[in-house]
Amino acid sequence: MTEKDECCSNIPDCCDMRGLLSFSILWLLTKRDMYGQELAEELGKMRGKRPNPGTLYPALKELEKRGLVETRKEGRKKFYVLAESGRTGVVEACEYFCTVYADIFREYGADE
Amino acid sequence: MTEKDECCSNIPDCCDMRGLLSFSILWLLTKRDMYGQELAEELGKMRGKRPNPGTLYPALKELEKRGLVETRKEGRKKFYVLAESGRTGVVEACEYFCTVYADIFREYGADE
DNA sequence: ATAAACATATTGGTTACCCAATATATAGAT
DNA sequence: ATCTATATATTGGGTAACCAATATGTTTAT
């Protein structure tokens, strides 16, 4: 039992739960500005597994292209910052998400 | 304001929230056996929009192929029933899902 | 200077999800 | 019988998310 095993995980193999990567990224960025590797780490903590660079960077590029995030360079690190449209969009997305899956959370969430 | 507008909707355009279709189907089937059109209607209520037949039926086929659901025909209706592996799998998936998105629910869910 | 470590990024290939449009099959009504 | 409504299903085309592997910069340490 290593340190890595303490967080979340238990990824189900019954149905692949792909999706919501961009949504998760935007949500993480409401907490603070992060650079790529930081996002990868936080996504790993959330979902039990770090996304591949070939998954993460194209997603970030797309979010930037859509104007939802902006970037700022500090040394070799490239920080991603929520743009105004990203800020409003993610709230809308979170509300939609919580409405859609409310019943599942009522049954399986909350406790522990 | 038609009847249809009363349910959920407000689908965000900031980030496409594709995904979790198979997961949602399995979860709906924990409630009761359903046939295709019934599932389409329930998914519509959840997500604000009915999935296309070209989306739904291949997903159902795949779930059957994987042995997660079984089918039973009644007239022209084909009922989908959770198989044993689907029953245990969906619980695991729900728990995983609730762990991953717990913080988002804490912030945006619960009330109303 | 150069090696090691860190960080970003791309390539090539797969799968799940998404649509509009169309096709097939069954049941019920006239 | 045949028309209508219901239900299942496929076709063809697109995007987001996923991976392993590899490549390219940039800082830091020696």
Strand ordering across the sheet containing A69-74:
A34-35, A77-82, A69-74
Q: Is residue B10 very low, low, confident or very high in pLDDT (cuts 50, 70, 90)?
A: low
Give the pLDDT of residue A69: 97
- Chain B positions touching A85 (Cβ under 8 A) are 14
Give the pLDDT of residue A112: 52
A79 at the B interface (CB within 8 A)?
Answer: no
| C-beta separation of B18 from B12 below 8 A | no
| C-beta separation of B109 from B92 below 8 A | no
Mean pLDDT (chain A, rounded): 88
Domain limits, chain A:
17-108
Contact at CB, B11 and A96, closer than 8 angstroms: yes
Phi, psi of A75 (to 5 degrees): 65, -130
Examine the pLDDT at A3 and tell me if it is beyond 50: no
E-strand stretches of A1-112: 34-35, 69-74, 77-82
- Chain B positions touching A42 (Cβ under 8 A) are none
Give the pLDDT of residue A98: 95
Assess if CATH 1.10.3720.10 describes domain A17-108.
no
B 3-42: CB under 8 A from A? 8, 10-20, 22-23, 26-27
**Tokens linked to B42:** 């329930």
Examine the pLDDT at B36 and tell me if it is beyond 90: yes
Bigger pLDDT: B6 vs B97: B97
Q: Is residue A110 very low, low, confident or very high in pLDDT (cuts 50, 70, 90)?
A: confident
Distance B1 CA to D17 C1' (A): 35
Beta bridge partners of A19: B19
The percentage of chain A sitting over the pLDDT mark of 90, rounded to a whole number, equals 79
Question: Could you say which DSSP state residue B70 is in?
Answer: E
The domain B14-108 is classified under which CATH number: 1.20.120.1200, 3.40.47.40, 1.10.10.10, 3.30.2290.10?
1.10.10.10
